[in-house]
Amino acid sequence: MSKDYSALAKQIIDIIGVENIESVTHCQTRLRFVVKDAKIIDKAKLESLDLVKGVFFGSGQYQVIIGTGVVNDVYDAIEHLHVVNAIYGQETAATTTESNDEHKIKLQRFMAMLSGIFIPIIPVIAATGLFLGLQSAFTNAQVLKLFGITPAAIPASLNTVISVLTGTVFSFLPALIVWSTFRYFKGTPIVGIVIGLMLVSPSLPNAYSVAGGTAKAIMLFGKIPVIGSQGSVLTALVAGYLGCVLEHYFHKHVPNVLDQILTPFLTMLVTFAIMILGVGPIVHSIENVLVAGVEGLIHLPFGIGGFLIGAAYPLMVLVGIHQMMIAIETSLLAATKLNPLITLEAMYGFANLGVALAMIMRAKSQKAKANFIGAFSSQLFGVSEPTLFGVLIRYNFKPLIITVLTSGLGAGVLSILSVAANSYGLAVVPSYLMYIYNVRNLLIYTIVSLLTIVVAFVATNMFAIPADILKSDEPVTTDDVADNTVYAPIDGQTVALTQVNDPVFSSKMMGDGVAIKPQVTADTVKIYAPQSGTMSVVADTGHAYGLTTPEGLELLIHIGIDTVSLNGQGFKVAVKLGQAVQQGDLLGEFTPAVIKQAKLDDTVMVIITNSKQYLSIEPTSEPTVKAGTSLIAVQTATVADVQPA
């Protein structure tokens, strides 16, 4: 009996906000929300939920990492709540508001579209790859020899039945893509799948046969060549989008009494006519050029192309544009039945394993080690975000550089040896299943992937182990430390620094500390000195203050994210550079409404910029604080600590 996830589903929806959600879909590991405003979501509260492994915004979607398998059940529970648009993505003219345009760049929205269209069909393509792999393994002459038979002994009828398992998805791939495109753009899915089936109808000459010279195109009216669209991913995407636009148009203009019959009729007729009479062949030709270009890059001499792809892929994941690779991989599979691209991209996951393993082995901080173990475990099955955001960019980007270089090296070797998968959708440990169709490829892929782990492990140990994790976080006695306290500069809700929506702060590049979501009870929020000392920074724009205490503690109070762009609008400064202040003195004030109106985050960061000089920095465990109450406990080494024994 499957577990009931309705309570978790409701918690997730409540935190993100029913009115904030435009649509929700899911992939193999995460829920993907298209939201109106990601900044109003309580990320820390969301990540505190049971089974939620992490949260981040990328590819134009608010992504909640759940994990393989369970995510399907949680998505089903969300769908059964019937309170949000639980379908594979929505982004039509009707739902794309001005607000969306402001907080999603066009590229991110394009990535979200590709993700929403291709993710639903990944499982069947991955399954087909496994079918092909098993077929190759069990019909191999050497394998059959162990049983005293040869491939010729396999009945033709059995081969025919097996071909249904291995050939159906690729034979009707355009139909699946048109169906998924219709779902994404709020068309009628059954209309989409029929249009897709028309494109690959057996009544039309097969595109592969025409290309191979064994069949000829139908010459319509004696002039227009007509063939099927087998294997053309781009043609299916264009047909799906065009069909949705036409269907929406006909729904608006056809009389209601005729809508149910006439709209599907006109949609299918016009879409098929446009695609088959010229647009389809043109688009297919463009796609062939693009596929040839990608193959040319992959097969550049000396593994150069493979290195570039392998090194670029971690950076693509970081900025959220990696989803477009799914479309390219699908085109490669449709055209060649092989996918060398995912082979090169896969080295990113193995490089991450090596980096995380090195961190685990070297870490003396038990808190850091627990974080690394969690990231390593998730990465084993292809969930890379905990490693990417919790390891690679958290420690001055050196681990990320190691991943980029080792991923590129592994991919370069694989491109030289011409290794390719026969599907996609599987990563790291499960990815080996994509190579069982060919013993040579499986052996090479296994060796190179393991060597990638080893090289990343060694390089991380040599160049990228952060000093922070080499410090034990075991409690120390009061005789060995001097205590200090940083006080809250405002009232509000505490937020872990790692949850701040800015990688500079969340990765602790600026130092350790804590963030506060302001409690707004008046038009303005006053900022008070969190300690006594001298003002070392007073931004003209009023968005940042720096203070140095007599003991050498260096504090930064940063108001909001990207608020420097306001050029002081909504801010008022009450102190000057070099001025001596006491804890609790007024530093300045800001107007949250101005920040919100500019679509910016008003979270206040309190950072100890020289945090590496201290034994321990412990933010308060209280969920809310008042100005002047304890916010951060700092433990400072005494003279006795640094003198030789």
What is the tens place of the pLDDT at every residue in 412-429? 999 999 999 988 777 888
Contact (CB, 8 A) for 173 and 124: no
Ranked by mean pLDDT, the top range of 42-51, 93-102, 515-524 is: 515-524
Q: What is the pLDDT of residue 108?
A: 59
Q: What is the pLDDT of residue 12?
A: 93
Q: What is the pLDDT of residue 509?
A: 66
Which segment of 298-302, 499-503, 568-572 scores lowest on mean pLDDT? 499-503
pLDDT class of 388 with cuts at 50, 70, 90: confident
Q: What is the pLDDT of residue 476?
A: 43
Structure-token pair, residue 570 = 């909504």
Spatial separation of the C-alpha atoms in residues 278 and 330, rounded to whole Å: 23
| pLDDT over threshold 80, residue 516 | yes
Q: What is the pLDDT of residue 86?
A: 66
Question: Which residue has 């790692």 as its token pair?
Answer: 498
Residue 633 CB partners (closer than 8 Å, separation 6+): 483, 484, 485, 616, 617, 618, 620
Spatial separation of the C-alpha atoms in residues 587 and 607, rounded to whole Å: 16
pLDDT class of 392 with cuts at 50, 70, 90: confident
Q: Which residue has the higher pLDDT, 572 or 60?
A: 572
Spatial separation of the C-alpha atoms in residues 451 and 462, rounded to whole Å: 16
Q: What is the pLDDT of residue 87?
A: 55
pLDDT class of 365 with cuts at 50, 70, 90: confident
Of 367, 372, 370, 363, give the one whose Cα is nearest residue 391: 372
Q: Which residue has the higher pLDDT, 178 or 278?
A: 178
Distances, alpha carbon 368 to alpha carbons 46, 395, 469, in Å:
21, 12, 6
pLDDT class of 449 with cuts at 50, 70, 90: very high
Which segment of 29-33, 163-167, 573-577 scores lowest on mean pLDDT? 29-33
According to CATH, what is the number of the domain 484-635?
2.70.70.10
Q: Which residue has the higher pLDDT, 174 or 637?
A: 174
Report which residue type is found at 318. Answer: L
What is the mean predicted confidence (pLDDT) over 626-638? 80
Positive or negative CA dihedral for 377, 389, 460, 325?
positive
Spatial separation of the C-alpha atoms in residues 396 and 392, rounded to whole Å: 8
| pLDDT over threshold 70, residue 76 | yes
Spatial separation of the C-alpha atoms in residues 453 and 315, rounded to whole Å: 18
Q: What is the pLDDT of residue 96?
A: 37
Distances, alpha carbon 620 to alpha carbons 530, 626, 628, in Å:
14, 12, 13
The DSSP call for residue 85 is: -
Q: What is the pLDDT of residue 550?
A: 85
> DSSP characters for 154-197?
S-HHHHHHHHHHHHHHHHTHHHHHHHHHHHHTT--HHHHHHHHH
Rg (CA), the chain: 29
What is the mean predicted confidence (pLDDT) over 383-404? 79
Q: What is the pLDDT of residue 117?
A: 84
Kindly list the domain boundaries of the chain, sorted by start residue. Answer: 5-81, 114-289, 300-464, 484-635
What is the mean predicted confidence (pLDDT) over 485-504? 86
What's the predicted TM-score (pTM) here?
0.53
Q: What is the pLDDT of residue 93?
A: 32
Start-to-end Cα distance in the chain: 62
For 221, counting Cβ atoms within 10 Å of its Cβ (0-12 exposed, 13-18 middle, 19+ buried), the class is exposed
For 347, counting Cβ atoms within 10 Å of its Cβ (0-12 exposed, 13-18 middle, 19+ buried), the class is buried
Q: What is the pLDDT of residue 603?
A: 93
Spatial separation of the C-alpha atoms in residues 193 and 4, rounded to whole Å: 32
Spatial separation of the C-alpha atoms in residues 207 and 199, rounded to whole Å: 10
Contact (CB, 8 A) for 553 and 568: no
At 312-361, the pLDDT tens digits run 998 887 766 676 787 788 888 877 788 899 999 999 999 999 999 999 99
At 185-216, the pLDDT tens digits run 888 889 999 999 999 888 888 877 776 677 88
Strands in 601-608's sheet, in edge-to-edge order, are 580-581, 533-538, 544-548, 554-561, 601-608, 512-518, 492-496, 624-625
Q: What is the pLDDT of residue 527?
A: 94
What is the mean predicted confidence (pLDDT) over 439-467? 93
Say how many CA atoms lie within 13 Å of 178 toward its Cβ.
32
pLDDT class of 109 with cuts at 50, 70, 90: low
Q: What is the pLDDT of residue 448?
A: 96
| pLDDT over threshold 80, residue 306 | yes
Say how many CA atoms lie within 13 Å of 516 toward its Cβ.
29
Q: What is the pLDDT of residue 53?
A: 74
Contact (CB, 8 A) for 538 and 577: yes
The DSSP call for residue 364 is: -
- Tell me the catalytic residues: 27
Q: What is the pLDDT of residue 103?
A: 43
| pLDDT over threshold 50, residue 91 | no
| pLDDT over threshold 70, residue 473 | no
Strands (E), 190-267: 218-220, 224-226
pLDDT class of 92 with cuts at 50, 70, 90: very low
| pLDDT over threshold 50, residue 244 | yes
The SS3 assignment for 340 reads: helix
Of 612, 516, 615, give the one whose Cα is nearest residue 557: 516
Spatial separation of the C-alpha atoms in residues 255 and 390, rounded to whole Å: 56
Q: What is the mean pLDDT of the chain?
A: 82
Which segment of 222-231, 292-301, 584-593 scores lowest on mean pLDDT? 222-231
The SS3 assignment for 267 reads: helix
Spatial separation of the C-alpha atoms in residues 414 and 424, rounded to whole Å: 16
Dihedral angle over CA of 246, 247, 248, 249, nearest 10: 50
Contact (CB, 8 A) for 54 and 389: yes
Q: What is the pLDDT of residue 405?
A: 95
| pLDDT over threshold 90, residue 133 | no
Spatial separation of the C-alpha atoms in residues 142 and 361, rounded to whole Å: 42
Strands 616-619, 586-590: pairing is unpaired
Q: Which residue has the higher pLDDT, 545 or 509?
A: 545
Which segment of 52-66, 165-179, 182-196, 537-551 scores lowest on mean pLDDT? 52-66
According to CATH, what is the number of the domain 5-81?
3.30.1360.60
